[in-house]
Each structure stands twice: as structure tokens, then as C-alpha cells.
Amino acid sequence: MAESYNICLDIGGTKVLGAIFNSKREIVYRMKKKTKAGGDSSQNVEEVIINVAKDLLEGSGIKKNQIHAIAAGAPGVINQDSGIVLFSPNLPWKNYNIRKPIEDEFGVPFYIGNDVNVGVLGEYKFGAAKGYNNVVGLFVGTGMGGGLILNGELYTGNKFKAAEYGHMILDPEGPLCNCGQRGCLEAFSSKQGMSAYIRQQVARGRKSAMAEAVSEGVFKSKALKSALNSNDPVATEAVNRACHYLAIASGNLVNTFSPEIIVYGGGVIEAVGDVFLQKILSEVDRYCMPSIRETVVFKKAALGDDSILYGALSMIKK
């Protein structure tokens, strides 16, 4: 019997990462493509997904009829059962049936879920959280995403809206968040939150190697890494502040769910995860009940950029 393959995608506001997995669940081919978010470009994102899938087939030499299924993680509130994107913050989708055009194009099942939920699922099935049944995932990127595995099942809550840990309010008088509230975890600890803090300090006349990196918006994770390596005081403060609030949030999550493991992923953790983990661990005990804390481990995600791809793979039904 001919080998069958799965196409898995990580759909972001600015890029689509794609990979083909063989039946042994190994990546045999991968690529990245830019997307243009904004405006009424749901069509554009859909076309990018179709084009990435076609380019993956062309580049790998694998035939369309060898594909068993396609699966993806994307930002937003997504009904995993129906494939309808109810709302997406960085993509122009509202009550949008993304499944139909993809299935019409390729004639195979298409699965889609919230990107961080899918990433946490990937870490649970194949990465740092493998072997644990109760998992909290926090992904630190441009924003702050969350995912939750309870008793071995991805928990998505009512209407697929659960695990928005980024909007846990930690200081109601704190900085404004994109969601309209003040003092959310995302406003302190995401790249947006850290960039805003650095910009504020630079505006006060302080010198920082990060000044240029945040002048156009959010910094690239590599810039943060090099600023930390050179002991840049403003960047160090931004990270200390981010980790302080991540420790408080983690303590709340420990007390709420009593997970076996908290996994930290996303672009920032990929770049400077050791620094973040060390700082979070140095103070998280203050915010947990000791009897619950002693049964929790804290780890960095193991799959890096590929956690969403592996999570997408694990959504595919055999």
C-alpha cells in the first residue's frame, strides 16, 4: 500500500508554517510563507493556506492522492467540531467556515483549532508534557496564549473559549491591554507588554539597546536575547517584570487546576526560555499553596516552533 501523508499548518497573523508528516509521524518536508493580515482578506489567508499546501506537495514530490488529511492551528476562537472560526484577533475572520474551501480543494478532511490549544496538545502528545494527564500551557509571544489538558483531554470550555490566561487580570490599575481591560497578564508579560514598558522607559530618557527594536512595535525575540546577554538594564527590568507577573499567574493556575506540569512555550521562551524559567521558579512558590505546589513541575516546551504542527497532527483522526 502506498505511503500516506498528513499536511499540518501553523497559521499566524504574518506567516503560515507548513509541514508534511509521514505515517511514522516524522516531518519529511517543511516551508514558511508570509500572510498579509488586515482588511477583508479572509480570502487571502484561505488562498495562502491552499497555496502552502500545494507548494508543500510540489516541493516534496508527494502526490495529492497520497494526502490523508490536513490540520491547522490558527489564532482566535475556533469551533473545532464545525471548522468555523468564530473570531480571530489578527486575521479577518468572523463566523467564517474555513473548513469547506480547503476540503473542496483537496478532497480530504480538514481539522482546525486555536493555535495555542493546538500547541499545548502537541507538547502533551509529543513534547515536554508527554506522560502527564493534567497540563497547563502558557505561550509567550506577541500576545499571551493558553491551553489546558484536563484528565487527558483538551479542555476548550463553553463555545471553545477556555484558557484565555493572557486576560487574567493581575492589577486592575495596571497597563492597558488590547482587550480593553487593564493589568492583564498579556499587558505585562507578552512581547507587546514588554515592548510598551521599554518604549515608556526610553521616552523618559533612559538608554537601552532595545530602543530601535521597539520603535516600530514589538521587538524580535533575538533582539531581546542579545540585550539580555549584554546586561541591558531596561531590557532586564522588562523581563523581570514579565516573569514576576508570569509567576503570579502560574501560582493562580497551580491553585486552580492542580496540574502535574506547567509548560511555557512561544517565541520568547524559544529565544530566552532558560532565563524566564529561572526567574519564574525563583518566586512562584510565594503564590502557590505549598501542598499543591509540591506536585507540579515547570518546564519549557520541547518542540519549539513545531509544537503547533505536532498538535495539528494529533487532531487528525486515523
Residue 202 falls inside a structural domain: yes
pLDDT tens column, 184-238: 999 999 999 999 999 999 999 999 999 999 998 899 999 999 999 999 999 999 9
Task: Say whether both 175 and 261 belong to one domain.
Answer: yes
Q: 265 to each of 70, 187, 283, 302, 305, how far by Cα in Å?
A: 24, 17, 19, 8, 9
Chain CA centroid to CA 116, Å: 4
The pLDDT-based confidence of 242 (bands split at 50, 70, 90) is very high
CB atoms within 10 A of CB 259: 25
If we measure between CA atoms, which residue out of 90, 101, 97, 96 comes closest to residue 53?
Answer: 101
| Local structure of 139: helix, strand or coil | strand
Task: Say whether both 108 and 244 belong to one domain.
Answer: no
The share of the chain scoring above pLDDT 90, in percent, equals 84
Residue 217 falls inside a structural domain: yes
Task: Say whether both 67 and 101 belong to one domain.
Answer: yes
pLDDT of 37 strictly over 60: no
What is the distance between the alpha carbons of residues 132 and 295, in angstroms, rounded to a whole number? Answer: 12
If we measure between CA atoms, which residue out of 315, 163, 299, 175 comes closest to residue 245?
Answer: 175
Q: Which residue is it, cell 499536511? A: 7
Residue 196 falls inside a structural domain: yes
Task: Say whether both 177 and 101 belong to one domain.
Answer: no
Residue 252 falls inside a structural domain: yes
Task: Say whether both 224 and 242 belong to one domain.
Answer: yes
Task: Say whether both 157 and 222 belong to one domain.
Answer: yes
DSSP code per residue over 188-213: HHSHHHHHHHHHHHHHTT---TTTTT
Task: Say whether both 45 and 161 belong to one domain.
Answer: no
Provide the residue range defining the domain that includes 23. 5-119+307-315
Task: Say whether both 226 and 258 belong to one domain.
Answer: yes
| Structural domain total, the chain | 2
Encode burial over 271-299: b for 16+ CB neighbours within 10 A, e otherwise: bbbebbbebbeeebeebbeeeebeebebb
The pLDDT-based confidence of 45 (bands split at 50, 70, 90) is confident
Q: Is the dihedral of CA 280, 303, 154, 107 positive or negative?
A: positive
Task: Say whether both 290 and 147 belong to one domain.
Answer: yes
Residue 204 falls inside a structural domain: yes
Q: Are 7 and 14 in contact (CB under 8 A)?
A: no
Task: Say whether both 190 and 234 belong to one domain.
Answer: yes
Residue 124 falls inside a structural domain: no
Residue 125 falls inside a structural domain: no
Residue 126 falls inside a structural domain: no
| Global confidence as pTM | 0.93
How deeply is 53 buried, as exposed, middle or buried, from its count of CB atoms within 10 A (0-12, 13-18, 19+)?
buried
Task: Say whether both 163 and 288 belong to one domain.
Answer: yes
CATH number, residue 11? 3.30.420.40
Mean pLDDT value across residues 80-97: 85
Task: Say whether both 91 and 185 belong to one domain.
Answer: no
pLDDT of 174 strictly over 80: yes
